[in-house]
A and B are shown apart, each in its own frame.
Chain A
Amino acid sequence: MNAPAMRAGPAAPGYGHVVDPDRVDTSHGPILYLEGVTVSFDGFKALNALSLTIERGELRCIIGPNGAGKTTMMDVITGKTRPDAGTAFFGQTFDLTRLPETEIARLGIGRKFQKPTVFENHTVFENLELAMKTDKQVRATLFARLSSEQRALIARTLKTIRLEGAEHQLAGSLSHGQKQWLEIGMLLVQEPELILLDEPVAGMTDAETERTAELILELEGAHSLVVVEHDMDFVGKIARKVTVLHEGSVLAEGGMADVQENERVIEVYLGR
C-alpha cells in the first residue's frame, strides 16, 4: 500500500501544534472516524451503531446488500442526514454531525452520486471550471480569470479522466461512462482530501469499468477514497481493505479474500 501523503502541519504526533481552522488535521489518526452512528427513519434503523475509520490515503471498498445503509452512511458523512446518535469526525477537528453540507464540501469531502449529474448544457471544460476549488463568492466569480495553475489542473484532470480532446464537447453529448468520469473529474478539481464514490461503475460497459478501475487506482495515495459498489468483479480489481455492511452496521472487515471466506458474509450477501 502506498504511504499516505502527510499534508498536515510539521508538528510530530504527540506534541502540541496550532490547528489550521481550514485544513483537516490528521496528525493523530484517521481522516474519517465514525463511532456508534445511528440513523432511524420512522423506527427503521438505517444505520445501527455503525463504527468505521478510514486512514489518510487509504482506498476502502464498502459492500453490502440493498438496504445495508451504504447510502445513508454517505449522507451522514456529507452532512445531508443528521445521525440520531454517535459521532462522526473528519480529521480530529471537524464534527460532521454539526457542519452544514456546503461547509463539509468546502473542507474537502467530495461525493459522487450514483446518477451522474453534470451540467449538460455546459462543455466538459466549463463543468470542471465550475467545480474547481476557488473563491465561489458572486464578485470573485464575476471577475474570475483562470490562472495558469488552474488551467494546468484542468488539463491534468482531463488526462486522468480520459476526456482529453473532448473538453469543448457539451457534457450532455457524452456517453454514460464518460459522464461518470467527468463527475469524478469534477470531484478531483475540488482537490478533496476524502472522496466518496457511490457505485462508480453502475451502467458502464466492461471496457469502461476496466478503465474506471485503473483511474481509481491512480487516485489512491493522493486522496483517501471510499468506494461503495455492488459489482464484485470490480471490487475484486481495486480492493485493498473491504468493509461489509449489513443492517446498518459492520458485518466484517478485511482483505477481499478474508471477507469472501467469512461465513456470515456468505450467508447474508455473497451466498445469495
Chain B
Amino acid sequence: MTRFFAPRTWLAILAVAAVLLVVLPVLHLAVPQGHPLHVSSFWITLIGKFMCYAVVALAMDLIWGYTGILSLGQGVFFALGGYAFGMYLMRQIGHDGVYQSDLPDFMVFLDWKAFPWYWAGTDSFVVALVKIVAVPGLLAFIFGFFAFRSRIKGVYFSIITQAMTFAAMLAFFRNDMGFGGNNGFTDFKRVLGIPITAPGTRTTIYILSGVYLLLALVMCRYIVTSKLGRVLTAIRDQESRLMFLGYRTLSYKLFVWTLAAVMSGIAGALYVPQVGIINPSEMSPANSIEIAIWAAVGGRGTLFGPILGAFAVNGAKSWFTVAFPQFWLYFLGLLFVLVTLFLPRGLMGLFEMLRRRPAVKEQAPEAVEPSVEPQVAAPAPLPATEPVHTQSPSIPPGIAMEGKT
C-alpha cells in the first residue's frame, strides 16, 4: 500500500551514501596529507561517531516517534553494546599493556590474579558479536516484559528507564564489577590482530558504521510501512482500542523495544573502536535524554528527521564544547524548549513549512479573490512518512500533523 521509498528519495539516499562511504574514505586514504582535498582522520572519526549516533536516533524514533514510548534509557543499551565489544578489544591488547600481563591493566591494578567468570570467552570475536546483540537485547526484553505487562506507560515508563540507566551507571562505576570502574576500557591496540589506529582499520570501521546506518534506515522504513508499522502508530494513538481488536499490544511493544535496544547496542559496538574508549559516563541519564533530543530536533515519526537531528545536535555539540564548553548544556536545554514550543515536528517539519511558504508568499498579494486561496492550500501537509494520497482533497490541512507526545 505504501511505497517503500520514492525513486527520488532512493537517489538522494544513495547520493549521500556514496559521498559518505566512497568519496570521503578515498579522500582520506588516497589523497596525501597536506593536500587541500585530504580528509583528516579527525573528520573520519567524527562522522563515523555521528553515524553510530544516528542509528540510536533511528531506534529512538521507532519506539518514541512511531510507538509513543518515550525511553530515557536508550544510552544504557548503546553502552552495553560498547562494553560487550570493549571486552574483546581489551583482550586483544594482550601483553602490550603497561603491566605486560595476561590481564587488562585495571585488573592488575586491583591485584586480581585471574579473569572473573563473566570474562570467559571474551577473547573470541564471534562470542563478542553474539554478546553485542544478546546483552542489550536480553536486558531490554526482560525489562520491557515486566514494564509493559504491568501496563506502565507514559511518563512513568520514562522515569523508570532513567532509573535503569542511572543504576547501570552506578554499578559500572564500581571497580569490583570488573569493567574498569570509572575509567572503563581504553588504550585499545588491535581488532582481529590488526592495529586499531591504522588508517585502513579506521576507515573500515567508518564504512561499516555507514553501511549499518543505511541498513538500519532501510529496515526501519520497511517496518513503518508494513502493517506492523500501522499497528505501532495505532498503539501510540489508541492502544486500548487496538487491544479490543484482538492485538496483544504487549508483544508489539516488546518487539519494537527490544529491536531498538539491539540496534543501539550494535551502534555502541561500532562507536567504541572509533572513539577508543567506553566508560560509565555513556550511561549517564543526561546522555539518554540527549538521544531523545536528537529525535525531537530532527522530527519524530519521520526516520530521516532523527538521523538529521543526530548530526545537527552533535555537530553543534562538537563546536560548542570547544568554543563555549560551559554553555553547552544550557544551549541544549534551550534548543529542546524552543523545538518543543515552535517546531513540534522538528527540522523535518521546518523544511516542509519552508518548502511551501515561498509559494504562498508569491500568491498572497494576488489572492484577492477567494478562488485562488484553496489552490494554494490544496496539497495537504501530510507527514512525509505517511502515504500521500492525492485523491483526498477533503483532508483539512494540519489534521495529520498532530504529533503525539
Residues on A lying within 8 angstroms of B by beta carbon are: 101-102, 105-106, 111, 117-123, 125-126, 129-131, 136-138, 141-144, 146, 168-170, 172-173, 186, 190
B228 touches A172 (CB 8 A): no
Contact of A131 among B233, B245, B386 (CB under 8 A): B245
Contact of B238 among A117, A136, A169 (CB under 8 A): A117
A119 touches B396 (CB 8 A): no
29 contacts between A and B (CB under 8 A): A101-B243, A102-B246, A105-B245, A105-B246, A117-B241, A119-B238, A119-B241, A121-B233, A123-B387, A129-B227, A130-B227, A138-B228, A138-B251, A138-B255, A141-B226, A141-B227, A141-B231, A141-B252, A142-B227, A143-B226, A144-B226, A144-B227, A169-B392, A170-B392, A170-B400, A172-B400, A173-B394, A190-B245, A190-B246
Interface string of B239-253 (1 = CB under 8 A from A): 001111111100110
B234 touches A130 (CB 8 A): yes
**Which residue of chain B has its CB nearest to the CB of A186?**
B245
Contact of A129 among B230, B252, B255, B386 (CB under 8 A): B230
Query: Count the B residues whose beta carbon is within 8 Å of the partner chain — how many?
Result: 33
B237 touches A142 (CB 8 A): no
- Given A120-B237, A170-B395, A173-B395, A102 and B243 contact (CB-CB distance below 8 Å): yes
Residues on B lying within 8 angstroms of A by beta carbon are: 1, 223, 226-228, 230-231, 233-234, 237-238, 241-248, 251-252, 255, 386-387, 389, 391-392, 394-396, 399-400, 402
**How far apart are B253's CB and chain A's nearest CB, in angstroms?**
10
**Which residue of chain B has its CB nearest to the CB of A146?**
B1
**How far apart are A161's CB and chain B's nearest CB, in angstroms?**
16
- Chain A residues lying within 8 Å of B226, measured Cβ to Cβ, are 141-144
CA distance A238 to B236 in the complex (A): 38
- Chain A residues lying within 8 Å of B228, measured Cβ to Cβ, are 138, 141-142, 144
CA distance A117 to B1 in the complex (A): 23
Q: With A130-B231, A138-B255 given, name 15 new contacts (CB 8 A).
A: A105-B246, A119-B237, A129-B1, A129-B227, A136-B247, A141-B227, A141-B228, A142-B226, A142-B228, A144-B226, A168-B392, A169-B394, A169-B395, A170-B399, A170-B400
CA distance A131 to B242 in the complex (A): 8
B246 touches A142 (CB 8 A): no
- Chain B residues lying within 8 Å of A138, measured Cβ to Cβ, are 228, 251-252, 255
CA distance A142 to B227 in the complex (A): 6
**How far apart are B166's CB and chain A's nearest CB, in angstroms?**
30
B244 touches A142 (CB 8 A): no
**Which residue of chain B has its CB nearest to the CB of A106?**
B246
Contact of B251 among A137, A172, A173 (CB under 8 A): A137
A173 touches B399 (CB 8 A): yes
CA distance A143 to B402 in the complex (A): 28
- Chain A residues lying within 8 Å of B246, measured Cβ to Cβ, are 102, 105-106, 136, 190
